[in-house]
Structure 1
């Protein structure tokens, strides 16, 4: 009887051990299966991040590169200043050749003046004030070339946004120059913007505003030529 009881006891212990082992294995498997989605999710998140940053775009206009050059010089970054200035100059020259107006020579002249500043950057002899003024004059010529090109293309109807952009660029350049030219230019720009805002409205309102806008923009362009 003792042997039978001992055998039964051993059998119970064996069964208990097997059940416990199976339970532990199940727990580990469940834990592993739960942990996997977390790892996969982390990989997906890291893969998405570069895609988001890749969608960020920066302005690639000549004026933007010139502004970047001034900002880089203020930070003491000579390499970036040189690179951005060279890119901006190339853009100005391309605009003068591709869309020539009466501002062509003035635009190329300002580009040449900017080129003359390039050798001063590595030596540290170029001050931000000097570069800033040169850039403002170049942007003034660029804005004048842009606006005159739009005027020469014919009807201004439906071109309110383009003209507004050009007027704003000239206004920004004039603000940097200061003086009486800035004050007069600001007044002319305000009048021109009021007329230009009606060009996209269509109908009689737009048609009535067109000749007024042409006259006001032409007056502003004459002022810009005088400043250059």
Structure 2
């Protein structure tokens, strides 16, 4: 009987640890989105908690990144950290947080693209879903740009999205998709880098 109870207690703690680690492994962008949502609802404690978790995840990813926008991303981490005390004190306006998060999303997506581009063809082939996700982040954040830059970026995003779809194909088709997508992906990284 003692062994049975001990097993149950152990199982409970393992389950709790797994649940906690899953909560901590939410992506940086998911945590930041959560912070924006909670801020709009007026949940100051929740906003500060999600913002802290998102900023920590973002900093960890940025530091281990090989992308061209790593330094800009780390600079945005500093900006987000400065918002945490405001969020805790209930003085952070959700519009300010929303703009900051949009800028981070664009940089995060573009930096992930840059990291894959840096690996050459091998970084692109077979990574259609990662690149599509990163393009989605860039698009989601682009609303903060001026209309000229936003239109320019939107055009390149459309090209890249079409080309990226072929990166999971085998052989020559995949290689052609890698060649076709690398130019538009590089343009996105440059546009985001110059606009933020």
* Paired residues, number: 173
Other-structure match for 1:196: 164
User: Is this contact kept in 2: 1:174–1:182, CA < 8 A?
Assistant: yes
Which of 151, 167, 170 is residue 183 of structure 1 equivalent to?
Answer: 151
Contact 1:96 1:107 in 2 (8 A): yes
| Preserved CA contact (<8 Å) 1:136 1:177 | no
Query: Which of the pair has more CA radius of gyration?
Result: 1
Q: Does 1:205 align with 2:173?
A: yes
Residue correspondence of structure 1 range 29-40 to structure 2 within 5 A: none
Displacement after TM superposition at 1:178 (Å): 5.6
Unaligned runs of 5+ in 1: 1-53
Where do residues 41-52 of structure 1 align in structure 2 (5 Å cutoff)?
none
Equivalent residue number for residue 74 of structure 2:
108
Does 2:104 match 1:138?
yes
Gaps of 5+ in 2: 1-18
Which residue of the partner structure matches residue 26 of structure 2? Answer: 60
Alignment check: 8 A CA contact 2:145 2:195 kept? no
Q: Show CA shifts across 1:125-181 (max 9, x none).
A: 211110000011111111111111111123222211111111111111113546322
TM-score, with normalisation over the residues of structure 2? 0.82
Q: Is the 8 A contact 1:200 1:206 kept in 2?
A: yes
Structure with greater contact order relative to length (CA < 8 Å, sep ≥ 6): 2
What CA distance in whole angstroms lies between the structure 2 residues aligned with 1:138 and 1:218?
A: 18
Once residues 117 and 195 of structure 1 are traced to their aligned partners in structure 2, the CA distance between those partners, rounded to angstroms, is 38
Q: Deviations over 1:93-135 (max 9, x none)?
A: 1011112322111001001001111121233321111000001
Counterparts of 2:48 and 2:88, CA distance in 1: 8
**Contact 1:151/1:214 (8 A) holds in 2:** yes
- The SS at the match of 2:125 is coil
